[in-house]
Amino acid sequence: MNLLKPEDQQRTKGDDGYYNKVLGEGFSCNSTYKMLYGSVSMIMKASGVGGCVTALVTMSENGDEIDWEMVGKDTKHGQSNYFYDRMLIYGVNGGVHELPNDGKIDTDYHNYTIDWSPDSIKWYIDNVCVRTLERADTYVNGTYRFPCHPSYVQLGIWDGSGATGTAQWSNGPIDWTKQPDKLTSTVKEVSITCNSDYNQVIN
């Protein structure tokens, strides 16, 4: 997966730091069918350049979302996150997780897994569970704010440089004057196992 260099990044200083007005063009791949509960894994080596984000995501039409994101520069960690029903509350539902065995996102291949069930979400790195979210713990004002709608599986690479807050979160903005024509994350394998109790599984 490649993130292509823009012709002119137009580096700009905002109130919270620098950002780029023009972004690199990234790759995104979406599944044809939706899944409701199951397991999604991606064996991948991510770009280590700050500002470059590589992601494995489940996304529903109503805005439920479950994420694995590998953020350049912070090469020893992966980030988990989730959203419910388009409630884009940033900095609340995320987690930062150290890779096992002193691994790095950009020099080694690692297996990132989302295990999604009706009662919990578990995030794994190399078959080690690094986070568990229980549905019971998401109850707020009479609603379980837990992803529970059929979702597409997406994977991609994107430029996090386009706004000051996002640029700082992604360890950017990317200084494209010091980068090659493209930044690359390499996917070795993607596997999806749907929960047969909630999906029509076609062999």
Q: Catalytic residue positions? A: 65, 69
Q: Is 27 exposed, middle or buried (0-12, 13-18, 19+ CB in 10 A)?
A: middle
Measured between alpha carbons, how far is 33 from 151 in angstroms, rounded to an integer?
A: 8
Identify the sign of the CA torsion 147, 150, 153, 154. Answer: negative
Report DSSP letters for 136-151, one per residue.
Answer: GGGEETTEE-S--S-E
Give whole-number Cα distances, 73 to 50, 55, 149, in Å.
Answer: 4, 15, 33
Strand partners, 131: 123
Q: DSSP H helical segments within the chain, as ranges?
A: 164-169
Termini Cα distance of the chain: 28
Provide CB contacts within 8 A for 192, sequence distance 6+.
31, 35, 38, 39, 40, 41, 153
